[in-house]
Chains A and B, each alone.
Chain A
């Protein structure tokens, strides 16, 4: 099997080996070893929770450097809708988009516009009925990967339509070629991303063979560049073509409200998402057709690669939504989009929590795990490098940790040893143990 790619990585130099990230990781994918955090690759879903909580900024996402755009003759930026929340409200959406041209792109196309295409297609599916309820949005790739490792029974509930990012890349490529601006192989499409998860979905897509996007640039990385270019007056092109429905995708509930049904539930924040997915998997959520689940608190506006506080960003976004409404931007897309939106490949359950391929062996391991767990102090202090005592017990049976990694266990052992030493010390070797006075 090919190695599993994910985008979140560690900056060894910055990592202090603290326990912040191991405790927050929703899939228990991080351990501290030799004073540095280590990510268990196949468990990482790229939610970016660790990037957010690391006080030393040692967790980062692999994205492409800005200069990589210069390997293409015709450079296209497709910014995520969350970009609108990153700048002061005095700047119009068109200004923000033109700034991307000012810093080096030849063409800009809003992912928000493609989001409307996806909304339209989703509405059609919901209208037709006959889908497995509730439909779970695939807009957030971290949630899709979470389902893949923790909620296998929900794989069939996933809305298997291409993401707005993919649709945007496809649409803009044909638009540019049709207008005669560039030839297909001269074009490089770059997604301006709020998160690691989206970067992964470009480098290692699960829904198709190859992504339409050629590169991914972190919103954070180009923020300063954009700020410096923002008030340059040469804004000319009309680039703000998306309607308010598409813009709203940036925040929680945005995708849902475009669906024209009340039977939806929108949840944000990875730990909240897990709670809701548990409910769905246990058939405890009634009367819901659509679930929008976003890994980040505040939706993509709270993405780990965004700059502005998600609540502030949300307020700023509202202004753009209102303006788009006032301008009576078309509610749905106008251009016809014929290509099929349905995924061409599918995801399979990855049982990363399984202890052994063989169930009998797995049972033996689980039994040992439970026994070890009972003997651990139950403090979940993290000093052993595992997120909880039970996780340490699990690591021990997997053969990647020792009982003495627990500092309390170690102290117990040291004390036992000390007692043994004292006892031994009291014992005289027989050759010296003579009765007094005798020779």
Chain B
């Protein structure tokens, strides 16, 4: 383990849309306090926001664990939701299983996962139907 690292932990509640995204906005604030370059902060917070929202919308909440070192930011979003049956399909732009209700709230364009891929330097999705999903996002700092 790197001694020069920060670890953060957030619970992601699954029942409240109005506070969804709080964890990523807290992380964003901290990255700014660390003096991380603005474009890196932007990439990280967008990627984390999308994963956080997915945990809220598709999986009834979960948790976020973040590790920041001098080299990179690692975000792990874990949930015990339904899992993703076909990850390759889910990764396609425009693919979404969101309900009409969720769409009315402005989500469900099927752009979350593609955006995470675009804004991260590394993306790993471990998922099992009926058990849950772990999304790991890495953004390099330099």
Contact = CB atoms under 8 A, between A and B. Distances in A.
Interface stretch (B37-45, B121-129, B130-138): B37-45
Contacts of B34: 354-355, 359, 362-363, 366
B30 A349 contact: no
B30 to A, nearest CB: 6
A369 B29 CA distance: 13
A354 B35 contact: yes
A346 interface: no
B38 A360 contact: no
B114 to A, nearest CB: 12
Nearest to A349: B38
Nearest to A355: B33
A353 B68 CA distance: 18
B6 A363 contact: yes
Contacts of A354: 32-35
Given A282-B49, A363-B70, A351 B42 contact: no
B33 A153 contact: no
Contacts of A370: 6, 8
A167 to B, nearest CB: 31
A142 to B, nearest CB: 20
- Secondary structure dominating the interface of A: helix
Contact of B42 (A281, A359, A360, A363): A281
Given A153-B39, A359-B70, A282 B33 contact: no
A135 B4 CA distance: 40
B27 to A, nearest CB: 11
A278 B42 CA distance: 10
Contacts of B6: 363, 366-367, 370
Contacts of B46: 282-283
Nearest to B71: A359
B16 to A, nearest CB: 17
A153 B49 contact: no
Contacts of A425: none
Interface string B34-78: 111011011001100100000000000000000010100000000
Contact of B33 (A281, A283, A353, A364): A353
A153 B70 contact: no
A186 interface: no
B97 interface: no
A357 B39 contact: no
B38 A278 contact: no
Contacts of A231: none
A166 to B, nearest CB: 28
Contacts of A357: 35
Contact of A363 (B5, B29, B41): B5
Counting chain B residues whose Cβ lies within 8 A of the other chain, the interface size class is 20 to 34
A271 to B, nearest CB: 14
Counting chain A residues whose Cβ lies within 8 A of the other chain, the interface size class is 20 to 34
A356 interface: yes
A9 to B, nearest CB: 27
A152 interface: yes
B70 A360 contact: yes
A124 to B, nearest CB: 29
Contacts of B99: none
Interface in B1-41: 4-6, 8, 25, 29-30, 32-36, 38-39, 41
B70 A278 contact: no
Contact of A355 (B25, B35, B38, B115): B35
Nearest to A278: B25
Interface in A322-364: 349, 351, 353-357, 359-360, 362-364
A281 B41 CA distance: 10
Contacts of A281: 42
A265 to B, nearest CB: 14
Nearest to B37: A152
A75 B49 CA distance: 55
B24 to A, nearest CB: 9
A281 B31 CA distance: 15
B4 A363 contact: yes
B36 A359 contact: yes
Contacts of B45: 282
B17 to A, nearest CB: 14
B33 A366 contact: yes
Nearest to B46: A282
Given A153-B39, A360-B4, A370-B6, 7 more contacts: A278-B25, A282-B49, A354-B33, A355-B34, A359-B36, A363-B5, A363-B70
23 contacts: A150-B32, A153-B39, A282-B45, A282-B49, A283-B46, A283-B115, A351-B35, A353-B29, A354-B32, A354-B34, A355-B35, A356-B35, A357-B35, A359-B34, A360-B70, A362-B34, A362-B35, A363-B6, A363-B34, A366-B33, A367-B6, A370-B8, A394-B33
Interface of B: 4-6, 8, 25, 29-30, 32-36, 38-39, 41-42, 45-46, 49, 68, 70, 115, 141
**Minimum-distance CB pairs A-B, first 5:** A152-B38, A354-B35, A362-B34, A153-B42, A355-B33
